[in-house]
Amino acid sequence: MKKNMGSLDKTIRILMAIVIGVLYFTNVISGTLAIVLGVFAVVFVLTSFISFCPLYLPLGINTCKKEH
């Protein structure tokens, strides 16, 4: 897998996962919404750690800095 996520992209995903976690643990979100957002949070964290987003591949998106 070739990396296709830059550091800003990874940071934003981690922050979104943290916000979702805080909303869940403070009971702001619950039920089906909490499950769906929880799945998104897990995906955000996993893709951030491996620096690869499978959805970016067919869309041709690459947020990594260009290497010379």
In a domain, 40, yes or no: yes
The token pair that represents 52 in the structure block: 């690869």
Q: pLDDT per residue over 16-65, tens digit each? A: 999 999 999 999 999 999 999 999 999 999 999 999 999 998 999 899 88
pTM of the model: 0.87
Residues 6+ apart with CB under 8 A from 30: 24
The token pair that represents 14 in the structure block: 């981690």
How many domains does the structure of the chain reveal? 1
What are the phi and psi torsion angles at 5 (to 5°)?
Answer: -125, 130
In a domain, 65, yes or no: no
Print the domain residue range for 42: 7-59
